[in-house]
Amino acid sequence: MANAIRFYDVETGGAIQIQLQQSEKGFRVLRQFGYRDPSYRDPFVVPADTRTFETDLASIPWFFAWLVPGLGTHLPAVLLHDGLVVGEREAPTHIGPAVDRETADRILRDAMATLGTPRIRRWIMWGAVTLATAWSALHPRWRWRSTVVLTLGTVLVLGTIATLDLSDVWDVLPWMGHRRWWLELLFGALFALLIPLTISILWGRLWATAAIAGVLLAFLFHVTMVIFALYGLYRFAEWTLSRREGTQGNARKSYIQALDARF
C-alpha cells in the first residue's frame, strides 16, 4: 500500500486532520485519525474516545529538545504511538488490532518514515521509546532493567573518566593514555563508538536500541553537560530577577488558573 495513504481522516476518508485542544494534563485529540500498517488487515484508529484520550505529545526531555523537537513531521506518528501504548491493566485507547508495546514502537518508527521524518531522527526516537519499553514492559523485568542500567551507566562513567583523561586530570584509560590531545580525542571518540556497540550484544534482538542510546549518549555527553550548566545559570538569573514578582514560570499552573477564572 502506498505510503501516502497510510494516515487518513476517519470522518472523511481523506487526508489526515489533527485537531488538538490543550487540557490540564496535556492535549486532547478532538478528531479521530486512522493508520494502515502493512502487517495488519484492519487499520488502527486513534483515539478510541475523543472525550477521554489525552496526550503529552512527544515526551522529549528539555535537554534534548534541540536535537529532537516536540513538534514536527513526526506528530501524527507520536499520537498514534500514544494511542497504542497503555499500561498493563488499562483499557485500550485505540480501535483496531491489539499490539504489545514493542510492536507499537516498531509501528512508530515505520509511521514516521511514511511522514518523511529524517532517518536519523526517527531511529533516535525509536531508540528512546524502546529504551523505555525495555525498562517498563519487558520480562523478566530484573534482567532488562539491569541491562539498561549497565548500558547507560557504563557509558556515563567512561565518558566522565575520558573527560578527566583528556584534561590530564586522571590518566587511567589505556586507549587514551599520555598522548597528544588530538590523539586522545580521536581514540576517545573511537571507543565511544566501540564500547556501546559491544555492550549492545547483551540486548539480543534489541541490540540496535542499546547501540543508538549508548553512542548518542557518549557523543552528546559534553553537549548535554554544557546545556545543563547554561540552563542552571539561566534559572538562577530568572529566580534572582523575578523573585520579587513571585513569578514561578509554571505555564501549566497559569493555564489552570486562567480556566478557573473564566468559568
Whole-angstrom Cα distance, residue 233 to residue 235? 6
pLDDT of residue 177: 77
**pLDDT tens, the chain, 263 aa long:** 444 589 999 999 999 999 999 887 789 999 999 999 999 999 999 999 999 999 988 777 666 676 777 778 899 999 999 999 998 888 899 999 999 999 999 999 999 999 999 999 999 999 999 999 999 999 999 999 999 999 999 999 998 888 888 887 888 888 887 788 888 889 888 999 999 999 999 999 999 999 999 998 888 877 777 777 888 888 888 888 877 665 555 555 555 555 455 54
Cα four-point dihedral sign 151, 156, 162, 168: negative
Domain ranges of the chain: 3-136, 141-245
Cell numbers for 6: 497510510
**Alpha-carbon gap, residue 83 to 139, rounded angstroms:** 22
Alpha-helix runs per DSSP H in 16-140: 75-84, 101-114, 119-136
pLDDT given for residue 228 in this prediction: 74
Helix (H) or strand (E) holding 9: strand 7-9
Query: Number of C-alpha atoms within 13 angstroms, CB side, residue 89?
Result: 0
pLDDT recorded at residue 9: 96
Using DSSP's 3-state secondary structure scheme, residue 45 falls into strand
